[in-house]
């Protein structure tokens, strides 16, 4: 036993290295090369050096595991014999290792440079934020000074009322933050930016801070920050304040707000809305989508009215929730730190306010049939593929307000239409609504007074749709062949710019009466088109508000569960308070399949089919998923019905009834 265990003990060899005794221990499992390297290391020689060991009487000792052991008194002397030359492989390996070491060194230097650049960028971003803060502080000071002046004026004439009425349950939410918004800055990857523009975007994968960054990106990507001079810091503050004013409801929460806004953003790209609407319209659509359910309490208008809540009393039972959402939205915007429209002129803000309020009020589902019927009626007289209709539509958007700039801004340099019995239809052809106004034409039917005049330069346009306007310092152009003068031959046009217009192909030249009739028909269509696009914006926000089923099934189905949870909470409360309960909210009567089948078939599909007539791209990406969703819920509905029938067949009453009918049949056979 002792002998067996001693054979595994390591062997100790003593070496005499320049008068210094060095003990080297190795196992018997080491080979000669390992022992040689070990001795070289012990003596401080290179590993590839050949050495020999000598006893005290200068006898050579074989270097291998079986070499005889010695003691400290009889150490072996170490004598270097020669240094081995590296083989080609060893040299190659050594060269590769050297290059790898150099690459590592360079990589570490690159990381250091990256860290330095990131530090400098952070410093620059901080400076930009501080500069933005200065602007916000100036606006705040202006607002404070104005308030102080108003208070002083009110005290002087004793006509002001010191009390303020707040319509919010929690006014602390609207307290403005003067510090830099705290949510982190996220850099969206190209894949995320691309996915954000599509209706298939999965809204469940994102945290609130990430959703805020995505909303911020949308405003930048659509050019709204640039075109309306929105301060980036103010945009962050506004989004944070909006987030804080959405309650933690199962359905009507900030994620629903993001979902609706993302769908509006994706429809903007899918339908090319920036080519058909002004930037002002896009700003109104996006802002209304973000604010459309602010401070939603989780109980719908029916409950508000039946329970006679404060909101129902305040708004006289007329869309109390939607009116409340609008009020909260503009109370947030009334804070200088959150007013993203501070650079927009007063007339522009008035248009934005009117547009946002109109769109938010349109999300009341009680008005669904009214809005849809009105939109379908307007669509009967409109053809999106008709160039003349599109030209008329563009003119109504650009020149509808008396002082509206082609880019959506208001400008005092554009003159309003003069009073008088004048019907002016402005035909515009626009290749790029943001940059180039190529040509326009004015058809005028006048009775006695004036012809509308605008200070625009003469510009060329394709034949058939050209207007030449002269003025002071501009040469008068002779009437073109086949054209008619707005004042007739030799008519009195003193004081007016010269005007000549080529007859459109659709305008007959037989007599004056037919010309007037044709122009009047055009004017009637032109009056319908602004109403159509006004209705279209309401339809767009309605589509986005209830667009969950347009998304993939794994994204859409959780929203159904959230909505039913909110419905059941309301129905339980209505039962406890003795109020009427809607069947589609009663947990004892409704299922997911029954709730969705009717809603998709009678609300969603007809609405999206109507929109598809204007925007064919909607058909494949939005209408097709609705059809598939309807079919899926129809199958679930049938499966639920079969399960219910099977369950009823297993009840004692049904079993007894079957046995009774079976016994009756036997008696008849016996008879």
Tens of pLDDT along 611-659?
A: 999 999 999 999 999 999 999 999 999 988 888 888 777 766 655 665 6
- In which band, very low, low, confident or very high, does the pLDDT at 394 lie, cut at 50, 70 and 90? very low
CB 313 within 8 A of CB 116: no
Q: Is the pLDDT of residue 277 over 80?
A: yes
Q: Over 60: is that where the pLDDT of 179 sits?
A: no
DSSP symbols for 78-129: EEEEEEPPPPHHHHHHHHHHHHHHHHHHHHHHHHHHHHHHHHHHHHHHHHHH
Is 439 within 8 Å of 465 (Cβ atoms)?
A: yes
Question: What is the model's pTM?
Answer: 0.58
pLDDT at 93 over 80: yes
3-state helix, strand, coil in the chain (%, to 5): 55, 10, 35
| Mean pLDDT across 58-72 | 86
Q: Specify the range with the lowest mean pLDDT, choosing from 228-237, 383-392, 481-490, 516-525.
A: 481-490
2-85: in CATH 1.10.10.10: no
Instruction: Mean pLDDT check: name the lowest of 295-304, 371-380, 537-546.
Output: 371-380
Q: Is 570 annotated as a binding residue?
A: no
pLDDT in tens, 123-178: 888 888 888 888 778 888 888 888 888 777 766 543 333 333 334 444 445 655 54
pLDDT number for residue 410: 36
**What mean pLDDT is reported for the chain?**
76
Annotated binding-site residue? 515? no
Residue 529: pLDDT band by 50, 70, 90 thresholds? low
> Angle of helix 553-576 relative to helix 592-599, nearest 10 degrees?
110
Mean pLDDT of the region 175-203: 79
* More confidently predicted of 605 and 394: 605
Decide if pLDDT at 338 tops 70.
Answer: yes
* Short-list 462, 470, 534, CA closest to 504: 462
Q: Is the pLDDT of residue 109 over 60?
A: yes
Task: Assess whether 119 carries a catalytic annotation.
Answer: no
State how beta strands 49-54 and 76-83 pair.
antiparallel
Q: Is 60 exceeded by the pLDDT of residue 231?
A: yes
- 293 marked as binding residue: yes
pLDDT at 663: 60
CA proximity to 549, closest of 539, 557, 541, 538: 557
The token pair that represents 261 in the structure block = 């806004």
- Paired residues of 76 in beta bridges: 15
With 70 as the cut, is the pLDDT of residue 369 above it?
Answer: yes
pLDDT of the residue at 404? 37
* Phi, psi for residue 445 in degrees, rounded to 5: -110, 110
Tens of pLDDT, residues 41-58:
888 888 777 888 888 888
Planar angle of CA 267, 269, 272, nearest 5 degrees: 95
The pLDDT, as a whole number, for residue 385 is: 62
Q: Is residue 183 scored above 50 in pLDDT?
A: yes
As a whole-number percent, the residues of the chain with pLDDT over 90 amount to 41
Report whether 304 contacts 322 (CB < 8 A): no
- Averaged pLDDT for residues 560-572: 95
Look at residue 471 in the predicted model and tell me its pLDDT. 34
- Lowest-confidence region among 69-73, 331-335, 433-437: 433-437
Distance CA 384, CA 194 (A): 28
Is 325 annotated as belonging to a binding site? Answer: no
Q: How confident is the model at residue 262 (pLDDT cuts 50, 70, 90)?
A: very high
Contacts of 451 (CB under 8 A, 6+ apart): 422, 442, 444, 486, 487, 496, 499
Q: What is the largest CA-CA distance in the chain?
A: 141
The residue ranking higher by pLDDT, 69 or 181, is 69
- 254 known ligand binder: yes
Q: Which two tokens stand for residue 573?
A: 């409360």
pLDDT of res. 649: 74
Q: CA 226 to CA 427: how far, in whole Å?
A: 28
- Four-residue CA torsion sign, 217, 222, 226, 228: negative
Sheet holding 467-469, edge to edge: 467-469, 499-502, 483-485
Mean pLDDT of 15-42: 84
CA-based end-to-end distance of the chain: 104
Query: Rounded to an integer, what distance in angstroms lies between the CA atom of residue 38 and that of residue 47?
Result: 8
502 CB contacts (<8 Å, ≥6 apart)?
463, 464, 465, 466, 480, 482, 483
Give the three-class secondary structure for 295.
Answer: coil
Alpha carbon distance 106, 104 (integer Å) = 5
For the ranges 32-36, 405-409, 440-444, the maximum mean pLDDT occurs at: 32-36
Q: How far is CA 186 from CA 122, 209, 210, 213, 214, in A?
A: 13, 9, 7, 6, 9
* pLDDT value for 279: 96
Q: Cα separation of 424 and 422, whole Å?
A: 6
Question: What is the bridge-based pairing of β-strands 60-61 and 499-502?
Answer: unpaired
**292 assigned ligand-binding residue:** yes
Decide: 22 and 14 in contact? Cβ < 8 Å. Answer: yes
Residue 659 pLDDT: 62
Q: Given 217, 220, 243, 252, which residue is catalytic?
A: 252
Topology of domain 171-361, per CATH?
A: Catalytic domain of cyclic nucleotide phosphodiesterase 4b2b (1.10.1300)
Alpha-carbon gap, residue 63 to 84, rounded angstroms: 17
């Amino acid at each position: 036993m002792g002998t067996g265990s001693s054979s595994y003990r390591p062997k100790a060899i003593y070496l005499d290295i320049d008068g210094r005794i060095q003990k080297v221990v190795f196992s018997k499992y080491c080979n000669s090369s390992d022992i040689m390297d070990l001795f070289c290391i012990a003596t401080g020689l290179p590993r590839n050096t050949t050495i020999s060991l000598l006893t005290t009487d200068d006898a050579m000792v074989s270097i291998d595991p079986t070499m005889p052991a010695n003691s400290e008194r009889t150490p072996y002397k170490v004598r270097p014999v020669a240094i081995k030359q590296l083989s080609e492989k060893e040299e190659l390996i050594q060269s590769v290792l050297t290059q790898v070491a150099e690459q590592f060194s360079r990589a570490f230097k690159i990381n250091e440079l990256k860290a330095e650049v990131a530090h400098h960028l952070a410093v620059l971003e901080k400076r930009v934020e501080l500069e933005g803060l200065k602007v916000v502080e100036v606006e705040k000071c202006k607002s404070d000074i104005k308030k102080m002046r108003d208070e002083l004026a009110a005290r002087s004439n004793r006509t002001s009322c010191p009390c303020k009425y707040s319509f919010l349950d929690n006014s602390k939410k609207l307290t403005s933050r003067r510090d830099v918004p705290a949510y982190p800055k996220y850099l969206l990857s190209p894949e995320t930016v691309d996915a954000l523009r599509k209706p298939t975007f999965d809204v469940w994968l994102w945290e609130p801070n990430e959703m805020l960054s995505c909303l911020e990106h949308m405003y930048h990507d659509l050019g709204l920050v640039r075109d309306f001079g929105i301060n980036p810091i103010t945009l962050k503050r506004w989004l944070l304040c909006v987030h804080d004013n959405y309650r933690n409801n199962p359905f009507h929460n900030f994620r629903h707000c993001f979902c609706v806004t993302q769908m509006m953003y994706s429809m903007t790209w899918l339908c090319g809305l920036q080519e058909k609407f002004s930037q002002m319209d896009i700003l109104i659509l996006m802002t209304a989508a973000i604010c459309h359910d602010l401070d939603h309490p989780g109980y719908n208008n029916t409950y508000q009215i039946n329970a006679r809540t404060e909101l129902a009393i305040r708004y006289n039972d007329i869309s109390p929730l939607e009116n409340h959402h609008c009020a909260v939205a503009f109370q947030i915007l009334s804070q200088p730190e959150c007013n993203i429209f501070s650079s927009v002129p007063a007339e522009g803000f008035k248009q934005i306010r009117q547009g946002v309020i109109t769109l938010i009020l349109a999300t009341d589902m009680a008005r669904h049939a009214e809005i849809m019927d009105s939109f379908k009626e307007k669509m009967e007289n409109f053809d999106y593929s008709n160039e003349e209709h599109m030209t008329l539509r563009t003119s109504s958007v650009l020149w509808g307000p008396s002082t509206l700039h082609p880019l959506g801004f208001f400008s005092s340099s554009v003159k309003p239409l003069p009073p008088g019995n004048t019907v002016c239809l402005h035909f515009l052809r626009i290749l790029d609504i943001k940059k180039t106004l190529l040509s326009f034409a004015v058809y005028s039917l006048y009775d006695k007074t004036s012809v509308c005049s605008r200070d625009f330069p003469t510009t060329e346009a394709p034949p058939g749709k050209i207007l030449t306007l002269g003025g002071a310092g501009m040469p008068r152009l002779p009437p073109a062949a086949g054209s008619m003068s707005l004042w007739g031959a030799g008519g009195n046009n003193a004081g007016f710019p010269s005007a000549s217009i080529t007859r459109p192909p659709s305008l007959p030249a037989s007599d004056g009466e037919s010309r007037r009739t044709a122009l009047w028909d055009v004017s009637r269509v032109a009056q319908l088109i602004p109403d159509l696009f006004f209705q279209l914006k309401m339809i767009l926000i309605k589509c986005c508000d209830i667009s969950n089923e347009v998304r993939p099934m794994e994204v859409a189905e959780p929203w159904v569960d959230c909505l039913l949870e909110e419905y059941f909470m309301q129905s339980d409360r209505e039962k406890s308070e003795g109020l009427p309960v809607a069947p589609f909210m009663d947990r004892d009567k409704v299922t997911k399949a029954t709730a969705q089948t009717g809603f998709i078939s009678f609300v969603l599909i007809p609405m999206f089919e109507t929109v598809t007539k204007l925007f064919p791209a909607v058909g494949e990406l939005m209408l097709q998923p609705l059809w598939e969703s309807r079919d899926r819920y129809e199958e679930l509905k049938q499966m639920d019905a079969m399960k219910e029938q099977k369950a009823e067949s297993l009840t004692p009453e049904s079993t007894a009834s079957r046995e009774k009918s079976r016994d009756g049949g036997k008696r008849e056979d016996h008879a």
